Amino acid sequence: MADSLQMILTEASAWAIPIIILAILTVGMLRKVKVYETFVEGAKEGFQVGVRIIPFLVAILVAIGMFRASGALDIMIRLIDPLLSLVGYPSEALPMAMIRPLSGSGALGVMSDLLATHGPDSFIGRLASTMMGSTETTFYVLAVYLGSIGVRRSRHTLAACLTADAAGLIAAFIVVKLVF
Amino acid sequence: MNIIWYLLVAIAVLVAAFSGTMQTTTDAALDSAKVAVELSIGLIGIMAFWLGLMKIAEKAGLIQSLARLLRPIMTRLFPEVPAEHPAMGSMISNIAANMLGLGNSATALGLKAMKDLQEINTEKKSASNAMATFLAINTSSVTIIPATVIAMRASAGSTHAAEIIGPTIVATLVSTIVAIAATRFFQRFVPAQGKDPVDVPIKPDSENGEDN
């Protein structure tokens, strides 16, 4: 059952993009849009956007990279851990919660590590999986999105996003605890 | 952002000094800089691809129909954005791409949405309320199918790799609702430092896409 569901999902995501492409091009042709010229015209901007986000991405990734490599993140985790174990939150899964908003590849690394050590169908495995799927790499997204349009003052964006992340992580914990 | 950036770096250097991880910290700084550029360059092709496709969709009126369909929700979420503005369409396409778990493609569409939102932003150096709401929804991750996670669970030998879909959707939903509520709540404390949004000339035409 789970296997066939997974197959359907994998198939669905494999089909999604080709079908979207075909649909857009077909409707474009039917409505007499010069699809080729229009595509090229739009695509031209891709380069500028890619280049424009470089400095912002460098800034944020360097800071996060240093923070992790220096061991500062581990210290932070050790400080928070006793508080969270009070509510029954497993300390093994704490790095997951802390790294998730900072680094997508880092979180994937932590998750695969947790899945390997504790097994994917353990409480920790399920918790890490749910956290991974239900939150985003907030700092990366903010740096890239705001950087691409030259916004320097993010105002309340970061506070709101981190509040949402915290809510998502807490919800993941509660739901996994209730469901399984 | 200034304070957080400074704190991340300063704490890292301090901790490194005390725990003897200076060399790894140095390596991490230089490596991350390299990775950042590789990520950006890697994004160019996907950006170009989606921006090209979006241009066709825009000219064919597809984005506008999509926006019209979701208008009741979108105008409530983004009261500052005129209902006919192209930003609505590009935000919807980004959220849809995120829901499908399309990763980098979602980023490309999201950057387009930011550009459209910047057009109606009164204070160009400062994030508008609409941007904050959009980003909060975006980073709260509106996934329906966490494809990568399911794949990793399956390869780790899970008997029910897809069983986390339900919990993920619930957690996502909670974080998205909190995201919207939080932006609404926080925006009162951070004035946009600008004129009233009402006296800004709005460019309502969505026929020909952007003009630069």
Dist CA A160 CA A177 (whole Å): 26
Do B175 and A69 lie within an 8 Å CB cutoff? Answer: no
Do A150 and B136 lie within an 8 Å CB cutoff? Answer: no
Closest CA to B130 of B207, B64, B202: B202
Give the 3-state secondary structure of chain B: CHHHHHHHHHHHHHHHHHHCCHHHHHHHHHHHHHHHHHHHHHHHHHHHHHHHHHHHHHHCCHHHHHHHHCHHHHHHHCCCCCCCCHHHHHHHHHHHHHHCCCCHHHHHHHHHHHHHHHHCCCCCCECCHHHHHHHHHHHCCCCCCCHHHHHHHHHCCCCCHHHHHHHHHHHHHHHHHHHHHHHHHHCCCCCCCCCCHHHCCCCCCCCCCCCC
Within 8 A of A17 by CB-CB distance, chain B residues are 102, 105
pLDDT: which is higher, B105 or B101:
B105
Lowest mean pLDDT across A86-95, A165-174, B110-119: A86-95
Within 8 A of A135 by CB-CB distance, chain B residues are 139-141, 171, 175
Segments forming the whole domain that contains residue B143: 25-191
Which tokens is B170 given? 């619930």
ipTM for this prediction: 0.82
B65–chain A Cβ distance below 8 A for any pair: no
Question: What pLDDT is attached to residue A9?
Answer: 63
Q: Would you mind telling me the total number of residues written for chain A in this entry?
A: 180
Q: What digits encode the pLDDT tens for the residues A19-53?
A: 888 999 999 999 999 999 999 998 888 888 888 88
Question: What pLDDT is attached to residue B200?
Answer: 42
Dist CA A106 CA A56 (whole Å): 19
The closest CB to that of B132, out of A16, A21, A156, belongs to: A156
Question: What pLDDT is attached to residue A13?
Answer: 63
Domain boundaries, chain A: 1-33, 47-179
Answer whether residue B94 is part of any domain.
Answer: yes
Which tokens is B5 given? 């950036």
Answer whether residue B5 is part of any domain.
Answer: no
* Continuous segment of H or E residues that includes residue A139: helix A138-148
B-chain residue closest to A169, CA distance: B171
In the predicted model, what is the mean pLDDT of chain A? 87
Q: Indicate the DSSP class of residue A103.
A: -
Q: Looking at the predicted structure, is the pLDDT value of residue A62 above 50?
A: yes
Q: Which residues contact A67 (CB under 8 A, 6 or more apart)?
A: A73, A102, B8, B9, B11, B12
What's the total number of domains in chain B?
1
Q: Looking at the predicted structure, is the pLDDT value of residue A127 above 90?
A: yes
Do A71 and B151 lie within an 8 Å CB cutoff? Answer: no
